[in-house]
Amino acid sequence: MKRHRSASPLFDPLVLIAILMGVSQTSFAADPPRPPASKVKVPEVAEMLWSILVDGANMGPDSGWFHPSESRYEWSWLASRFDRNKDGVVTADELKGSAALFRALDRDGDGAVTVEDLDWSPRSRYLQGRALARGRFAQMDRNGNGRITLAEWEKAFEQAAKGKTFLTQDDVAALLYPPSAPPRRVAKDGKSAGPEGPSRLTLLKGLFSGEIGSSTEGPGLGQDAPAFTLETHDQSRRISLADYRGKKPVVLIFGSFT
């Protein structure tokens, strides 16, 4: 779960102007080299600044502070307690929990819980496959109601068959894995010639103003959440996190919804 950050300016405006002037005079036609991997803890705001300068709007899920979620209860924790024969697989007999719990952990449904089942990083083959499926589903779900009807399925079949009454292996491959969008053309000045996301300048302004994050990092894994009190949505009462500390589990979700 990503940690909450309050919006606040990061630097003095004069520093911001100096940085922006330096960035405006820098060519990004070729990405600068990335810093070597280090065990030193780098502030997340520094990671975000570097990602903006290097990647701009092409930032990915591992860029800046958009890191995968962290948990104490990962595969190493599960395996150390339930993988009794140390074969890298936790079976239903070894888990000795409810059938519903085992099904939830065995996300690929192969009848065994492995390290892949608990991998939620961008490297996960399961998540990569689901991402492809979501994209193809959205194309076939023409009315956007979250369901594919028989008519929509037949329409997708007709498009893939291209006039035939059957599908070949290549047709199915094209149906499930359509070609990706062509890369953006780059002009001589190093700028994209086609539509793109926010410019580096816009992202930098958002970073320094606190619109896309703050220099104040939240608690790390295993640390206590800060105390706070909030009003309920109906404004009938106020709730403090301290009211539940040590009494029952509490899930805090700081989402960004647009």
What CATH number corresponds to the domain at position 88? 1.10.238.10
Cβ atoms of 112 and 91 within 8 Å: the answer is yes
- Confidence at residue 16, expressed as pLDDT on a 0 to 100 scale: 46
Please indicate, yes or no, if residue 4 is contained in any of the structural domains: no
Cβ contacts of 113 within 8 Å, gap of 6 or more: 78, 89, 90, 91, 95, 102, 105, 106
pLDDT computed for residue 110 by the predictor: 92
H helices of the chain, in order, are 13-24, 44-55, 75-82, 92-95, 99-105, 125-140, 150-161, 169-176, 200-209
Residue-wise pLDDT tens for the chain (258 aa)?
444 444 444 444 444 444 444 444 443 334 444 444 445 778 888 888 999 998 888 887 778 877 777 888 899 999 999 999 999 999 999 998 899 999 999 999 999 999 999 998 888 888 888 888 888 898 899 888 999 999 999 999 999 999 999 999 999 988 888 776 665 555 555 554 445 678 889 999 998 888 887 778 878 888 888 888 989 889 999 999 988 888 888 888 776 654
Tell me the C-alpha to C-alpha distance, in Å, between residue 61 and each of 49, 120, 186, 235: 15, 11, 23, 36
Position 180 in a domain: no
pLDDT for position 44: 84
**pLDDT attached to residue 83:** 95
Task: Decide if 135 is inside a domain.
Answer: no
Give residue 27's domain range. Answer: 13-69+190-209
Structure tokens at 168: 């070949």
Within a domain: 131: no
**pTM for the complete prediction?**
0.57
10 CB neighbour count, 10 Å cutoff:
17
Tokens of 226: 């800060």
21 and 62 together in one domain = yes
Do both 93 and 56 map to the same domain? no
pLDDT of residue 223: 85
Specify whether 55 is located in the same domain as 98.
no
- Residues 18 and 38 occupy one common structural domain: yes
Looking at the structure of the chain, the number of domains it has is 2
